[in-house]
């Protein structure tokens, strides 16, 4: 794709270039990510939204090289991760961490919290147990847990919200620059969700982090993101500054997502016009624009021609032949 989605000056921390990820399921190919390009500037939070199966988690894993891409590049701090192997890759991975949706499932039930958080330190060669304990204490304190009460206990003694705090502490212990948060609050109740979102914002400021925040909930994504990328069936539909993208969506899919959010206000009538239909299978995605089968604006051109990401407003890009706003 030809555009550079530059939001601030200087080199972006992360550059994803024409990334393609596919995998085989029962002799068929799942087109999970089909040519996605994006950039994340240092200190920025990029939100990545889309419905289940759109490839957003696969994209996150491919960035960390947990799943290798078929083609395309992932450049982190100027270095091409896709070309790296073994120790070189492991050294880079220390600078990048991942937080998952299900905090309870991502903690080993038989290990004590202190050991779980110290494990990355052990692997990265911090040999002095005292030093490790010190660092574990620091991150536990940072996420709002008392190390003297928590470090010796087992995961089952903690609620979902507390477990997510522990996962965040583990992600922070190596002092990374970049964290991918993959649906970090979807499994949490409303009252706990707000605590964790606030904590992520605090940690970002305190540790100078850059975040890729993956979620299906647009309001949650907007609450933490500087820019938002909308994904549908393996491709990016739209990228832009959060505020702008939500007030002036250019891609019909972005507009559909925004309309579908239930608003906690009885005076706002739910949109009646949500079109029936579901995302097609990523095994056989539609030709041309992948959203065309559900799009009210689709015509012959959308069947024949894959839309490229094009600028529609300053810093805002949409991959649509018939955007809701046109470049002025």
Partner 1 sequence: MTEPALLSVENVSVDLPTPRGNLRAVDQVDLKIGAGQTLGVVGESGCGKTMLSRAVLQLLPKKAKLSGRVMFDGQDLVRLDPERLRKLRGRSLAVVFQDPMTSLNPVLTIGTQLIETLQEHLELDGVVARRRSVELLAAVGIPAPEQRLVQYPHQLSGGMRQRVAIAIALSCEPKFLIADEPTTALDVTIQAQILDLLAREQRRRHMAMILITHDLGVVAGRTDEVAVMYAGRVVERAPTPVLFKKMHMPYTEALLAAIPKIDAAPHTPLPAISGRPPDPTRPIQGCSFSPRCRYAAGRCYREKPLLAASESPDHHYACFHPIQVTADFCA
Report yes or no: 109 and 123 within 8 Å, Cβ to Cβ: no
Cα–Cα dist 273/187, whole Å:
29
Residue 270 interacting with partner 1 (CB under 8 A): yes
Residue 149 interacting with partner 1 (CB under 8 A): no
Which positions from 88 to 127 touch partner 1 by CB under 8 A, shown as an x/- string? Answer: ----------------------------------------
Nearer to partner 1, 271 or 283 (CB): 271
Residue from 149, 271, 283, 303 in contact with partner 1 (CB under 8 A): 271
Nearer to partner 1, 120 or 240 (CB): 240
**Helix (H/G/I), strand (E/B), else coil: 140:** helix
**Helix (H/G/I), strand (E/B), else coil: 258:** helix
Residue 183 interacting with partner 1 (CB under 8 A): no
Minimum CB distance to partner 1, residue 286 (Å): 16
β-strand partners of 318: 238, 310
Q: In 85-178, which ranges are continuous DSSP H helix? A: 86-93, 113-123, 129-142, 147-150, 160-172
Give the orientation angle of helix 113-123 with respect to helix 129-142, to 10 degrees. Answer: 120
* Closest to 69 in 3D by CA, of 77, 12, 61: 61
Size of site (CB under 8 A) for partner 1:
47
The total of other beta-carbon atoms located within 10 Å of residue 72's CB is 18
Minimum CB distance to partner 1, residue 246 (Å): 6
Of 9-17, 31-39, 88-96, 186-194: span binding partner 1 (CB under 8 A): 186-194
Stretch 201-240 residues interacting with partner 1 (CB under 8 A): 201, 216-220, 222-226
Stretch 65-84 residues interacting with partner 1 (CB under 8 A): none
Euclidean distance between the first and final Cα of the chain, in Å? 21
Residue from 4, 8, 18, 198 in contact with partner 1 (CB under 8 A): 198
Q: CB-side exposure of 15: number of CA atoms within 13 Å?
A: 17
CA distances from residue 278 to 21, 54, 228, 282 in whole angstroms, order as listed: 22, 12, 23, 12
Residue from 31, 132, 193, 321 in contact with partner 1 (CB under 8 A): 193
Nearer to partner 1, 243 or 299 (CB): 243
Nearer to partner 1, 132 or 204 (CB): 204
Residue from 60, 161, 252, 307 in contact with partner 1 (CB under 8 A): 161
Residue 278 interacting with partner 1 (CB under 8 A): yes
Cα–Cα dist 6/262, whole Å:
32
Q: Phi then psi for 218, rounded to 5 degrees? A: -65, -40
Positions in the binding site for partner 1 (CB under 8 A): 51-52, 159, 161, 189-195, 197-198, 201, 216-220, 222-226, 242-243, 246, 256-272, 274, 276, 278
């Amino acid at each position: 794709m030809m555009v550079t989605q530059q939001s601030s000056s200087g080199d972006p921390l992360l550059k994803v270039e024409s990334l393609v990820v596919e995998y085989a399921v029962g002799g068929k190919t799942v087109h999970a990510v089909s040519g996605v390009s994006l950039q994340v500037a240092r200190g920025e939070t990029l939100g990545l939204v889309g419905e289940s199966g759109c490839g957003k988690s696969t994209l996150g894993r491919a960035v960390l090289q947990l799943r290798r891409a078929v083609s395309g590049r992932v450049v982190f701090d100027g270095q091409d991760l896709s070309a790296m192997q073994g120790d070189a890759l492991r050294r880079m991975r220390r600078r990048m961490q991942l937080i998952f949706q299900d905090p309870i499932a991502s903690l080993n039930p038989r290990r004590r919290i202190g050991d779980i958080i110290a494990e990355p330190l052990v692997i990265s060669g911090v040999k002095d147990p005292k030093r490790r304990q010190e660092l574990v204490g620091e991150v536990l304190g940072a996420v709002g847990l008392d190390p003297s009460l928590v470090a010796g206990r087992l995961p089952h003694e903690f609620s979902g919200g507390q477990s997510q705090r522990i996962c965040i502490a583990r992600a922070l212990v190596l002092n990374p620059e970049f964290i991918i948060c993959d649906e970090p609050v979807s499994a949490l109740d409303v009252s706990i969700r707000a605590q964790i979102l606030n904590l992520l914002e605090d940690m970002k400021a305190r540790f100078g982090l850059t975040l890729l925040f993956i979620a299906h909930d647009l309001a949650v994504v907007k609450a933490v993101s500087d820019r938002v990328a909308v994904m549908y069936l393996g491709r990016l539909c739209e990228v832009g500054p959060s505020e702008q993208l939500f007030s002036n969506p250019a891609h019909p899919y972005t507009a559909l997502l925004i309309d579908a959010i239930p608003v906690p206000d009885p005076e706002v009538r739910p949109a009646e016009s949500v079109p029936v239909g579901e995302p097609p299978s990523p095994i056989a995605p539609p030709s041309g624009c992948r959203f065309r089968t559900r799009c009210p604006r689709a015509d012959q051109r959308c069947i024949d021609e894959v839309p490229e990401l094009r600028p529609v407003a300053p810093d805002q890009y949409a991959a649509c032949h018939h955007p809701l706003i046109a470049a002025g």
